[in-house]
Amino acid sequence: MIQLAKQAGATVISTASSDEKLERLTELGLDHGINYATENFVERARELTDGAALTFVLDSVGGQTLVDSVRVLAYRGTLVSVGLAARAGSNVAATDLWEKNNALCGVFLGGALLSEYSRVHAMIADLIERVGTGELRVVIDRTFPLAKAAHAHAYIESRQAFGRVVLTP
């Protein structure tokens, strides 16, 4: 997402659990990083925007992060929720969005594939082509044999992974 946002001309702010991960994200186009383990996401986002807030937020974590993401949105900002890495529900009320006329959108690729196969298939084909030409980079952290799938899941859950974890036959 960082690469796509950067290619679209955005100033990209991202969070990560370590300074090391944030440093690695700069290679992908990150402009500003927030270490959520040592910094308050809401306060730091406001500092980075000189109080102007963010026009677009993509949240893959959910839980409190989704709630905080609403708090950093600018007037008429958009928040897109794409995952629940925190494995926790969020208490976002519609009234939290009304004050600044914000939009909250949920995106689930599986649902889109069922409802809009042609459009989504073309979009995925385009992304794969862009990876093939080098325009987009896929970071593969580790590869595990399929027989070690449980180890791969444990590695992902340890939150050490940076990029994709791949299972091979």
pLDDT in tens, 29-61: 999 999 988 999 999 999 999 988 999 999 988
Task: Kindly state whether residue 71 falls inside one of the protein's structural domains.
Answer: no
Task: Kindly state whether residue 131 falls inside one of the protein's structural domains.
Answer: yes
CB-based contact 33:12 (threshold 8 Å): no
Task: Kindly state whether residue 123 falls inside one of the protein's structural domains.
Answer: yes
Task: Kindly state whether residue 113 falls inside one of the protein's structural domains.
Answer: yes
pLDDT digits (tens, 9 = 90+) for 66-121: 999 999 999 999 999 998 876 777 888 899 999 999 999 999 999 999 999 999 99
Task: Kindly state whether residue 57 falls inside one of the protein's structural domains.
Answer: no
pTM of the model: 0.85
Domain housing 131: 109-138
The predicted pLDDT at position 138 comes to: 96
pLDDT digits (tens, 9 = 90+) for 109-157: 999 999 999 999 999 999 999 999 999 999 999 999 999 999 999 999 9
Nearest C-alpha neighbor of 15 from the set 38, 35, 31: 35
DSSP 125: H
The predicted pLDDT at position 65 comes to: 87
Q: How many domains does the chain have?
A: 2
Q: Mark 12-45 as b/e (b = at least 16 C-beta within 10 Å).
A: bbbbbebeebbebbeebbbeebbbbeeeebbebb
Task: Kindly state whether residue 147 falls inside one of the protein's structural domains.
Answer: yes
Task: Kindly state whether residue 70 falls inside one of the protein's structural domains.
Answer: no
